[in-house]
Amino acid sequence: MTEMALSLLTQAEEEGLGGRALVDEPLARHTSYRIGGPADLYVVVRREEDLLGWLTLARRQRVSYFVMGRGTNLLVADQGMRGVVIENRCRGVRSLTRSEGILLQVQAGGSLSSLARRTAKEGLGGLEWAVGIPGTVGGAIVNNAGAYGGSIAQRLQRVTLLDNQGVLRRMAVSELELGYRTSRFKGESSVILSADFALQAESADLLSERVASCERERRKSQPKEPSAGSVFKNPGGEYAGRFIEKAGLKGDRIGDAQISPLHANYIVNLGQARASDVAALVRLVRERVWQKHGTLLELEIELVGDWEPEELAATIGSFGQDEECRDHPQL
């Protein structure tokens, strides 16, 4: 156990902080890729007061921290992550009836897919497109998640967050700079605590049909092997997967990482893939698509953790243009 981990654990116990704390915990156990080295300290919290307590403690002791949800959009380095990684499992939901509809207040650690199922079953429309999206509410906001014509931006009203100065704030959706798979939270250390969504009463039967339709589409088009979803953003009205397929890369593999034969914009883990294998495929795809089509694919997944600077720069760089690795929370 490192001195840092011991110090944090001792102080947390003295302050009565809740949460399950694990030392040198492999992050492969907590990401959808099933890839990632150890976190110095990994803490799972289920109450907002514990989340805030651990964040305050880390800041006070000047320990680096990273807040994650279900790890669905992350490629964690083989060397893991230094400092404390906090998994947010705060999942409370509260609804308020208003004249214009229902305002749903949702904690950021809850599953977006579960929320979509629940609201559809209760006859509340607006999130049914999100069935099958595996991340948390917080991660969906960071990335302005979307599918089948719907997106977070369409229903989100405001968020409550702890900003990078440790101050609790409420921000309206107009302040969040939501764009295609992006938001102002990219590259920030702010932590989203909860979100308000405006939903409308609709026929539960109709919503169930939409849910079933989305599920059918996902089963047909998405691979079953461990992955982090779409690796690259779709460039300007085109599909990244189509560029990759035309470049002749569908099915290519490095180690146990493979460009999915089912969907070329997925890189899947066939069993024992390492982060370095996935990163090597990312570099291959970006270089080949650039050479063949003159299109520079931008990453949708996030590389986080203790990467070698040269490997990181080569994977996320812009062929001569510097590009920052965006370590952001909630995913």
The DSSP element (H or E) to which 244 belongs, if any, is: helix 240-246
* Residues 71/32, Cβ–Cβ less than 8 Å: yes
* Residues 230/133, Cβ–Cβ less than 8 Å: no
* Residues 135/72, Cβ–Cβ less than 8 Å: yes
Count CB-CB contacts under 10 A for residue 226: 16
* Residues 231/300, Cβ–Cβ less than 8 Å: yes
For the question of residue 181 being annotated catalytic, the response is yes
The rounded distance, in Å, linking the Cα atoms of 309 and 314 is 8
Q: Which of 227, 230, 260, 276 is catalytic?
A: 230
* Residues 127/209, Cβ–Cβ less than 8 Å: no
* Residues 17/57, Cβ–Cβ less than 8 Å: yes
Q: Which of 87, 128, 300, 302 is catalytic?
A: 300
For the question of residue 300 being annotated catalytic, the response is yes
The rounded distance, in Å, linking the Cα atoms of 330 and 194 is 11
Angle subtended at Cα 136 by Cα 269 and Cα 124, rounded to the nearest 5 degrees: 125
Please report, as a single letter, which amino acid is at residue 263.
Answer: H
Q: Checking DSSP bridges between strand 93-98 and strand 101-107, what pairing results, if any?
A: antiparallel
Beta bridge partners of 68: 87
Q: Which of 89, 117, 181, 286 is catalytic?
A: 181
Residue 318: phi, psi to the nearest 5?
-115, 40
Q: Which two tokens stand for residue 105?
A: 């207040």
Angle subtended at Cα 329 by Cα 327 and Cα 331, rounded to the nearest 5 degrees: 105
Which of 59, 60, 64, 27 is closest to 42 using CA atoms? 27
For the question of residue 274 being annotated catalytic, the response is no
Residues belonging to the active site: 181, 230, 300
